[in-house]
Amino acid sequence: MTKLGRYWIWLPLLSVVLILAARPVAAEEGWVSLFNGKDLEGWTPKITGYDLGDNYGDTFRVEDGLLKVSYENYKAFDRKFGHLHYKRPFSSYRLRLEYRFTGEQCEGGPGWATRNSGIMVHGEDPKLMKKDQDFPTSIEVQLLGGDGKNDRTTGNLCTPGTNVVMDAKLVTRHCISAKSKTFHGEQWVTSEVEVRGNEVIRHLINGEKVIEYQKPQLDPRDAHAKTLVKDGELMLSGGFISLQSESHPVEFRKIEILVVD
């Protein structure tokens, strides 16, 4: 067989390989985008001191296909903690997105909030939040950026109005550090959270599991969380997803969810 003949035999296979390689990541079976890259359709802001739906200072905005948290219209932060809530609750799913911190912190932002944001899961209905409430009762996947020098883990766990179980023990402290690398500068980082109702929640950073815990539940010591308890049931099996604004500019992209049984 001539060289030309051998090339013709492999050509159909090469075409299939090229077609498969060209398929976009978003085409992965079952994954659905929660962000259209054009506007905030499906998302509603709630900022401390303002009514649900009032996007004070255009804090949450879409530019260049990115969902941005910006403070350029703020004179000072003044505890205007914000959360951008997705329109419907979920129970068992995998959520993944990419984030990065940019620029400088808004004047008046607390020191601990430098290069600090988060993904809230199992959150309360934002319609139940008080006007002056800083954070929704929820489980937080805390996102942190490095300061250029020191170690600072990301993908941590924080628990506004909630508790979890780790190693068969109830954990009541507010924040628990994950076992992750530190990410300095403005690099994009992939955060994924696997949520299985009330059974287990896992945080992953760039594909590596960094923390895991069980039985997310309301904290009866918290006055607002206590109002959310129904028939004495503390356990959380689902809730709303939201993204934070905590005084440092941050950008999000590729926000996707895979709902599982």
**What's 168's domain CATH number?**
2.60.120.560
Angle at 140 between CA 136 and CA 144, to 5 degrees: 125
197 with 92: CB under 8 angstroms? yes
The residues, any chain, with a CB within 8 Å of residue 258's CB and separated by 6 or more, are 30, 31, 32, 93, 94, 95
| Residue 7 counted as domain residue | no
| Residue 41 counted as domain residue | yes
| Residue 17 counted as domain residue | no
pLDDT digits (tens, 9 = 90+) for 130-171: 999 999 999 999 999 999 999 999 999 999 999 999 999 999
Q: Can you give the residue range of the structural domain that contains 151?
A: 27-259
**For the whole model, what pTM was predicted?**
0.88
| Residue 2 counted as domain residue | no
**pLDDT in the model for residue 29:** 84
Residue 129, token pair as written in the block: 């939040």
| Residue 234 counted as domain residue | yes
Q: For tokens 């895991």, name the residue.
A: 212
| Residue 138 counted as domain residue | yes
| Residue 13 counted as domain residue | no
Q: Which has more pLDDT, 260 or 1?
A: 260
Q: How many domains does the chain have?
A: 1
The residues, any chain, with a CB within 8 Å of residue 5's CB and separated by 6 or more, are none
- Checking if the pLDDT of 1 tops 60, the result is no
Percent helix, strand, coil in the chain, to 5, is 15, 40, 45
What mean pLDDT value characterizes the chain?
91
109 with 81: CB under 8 angstroms? no
| Residue 6 counted as domain residue | no
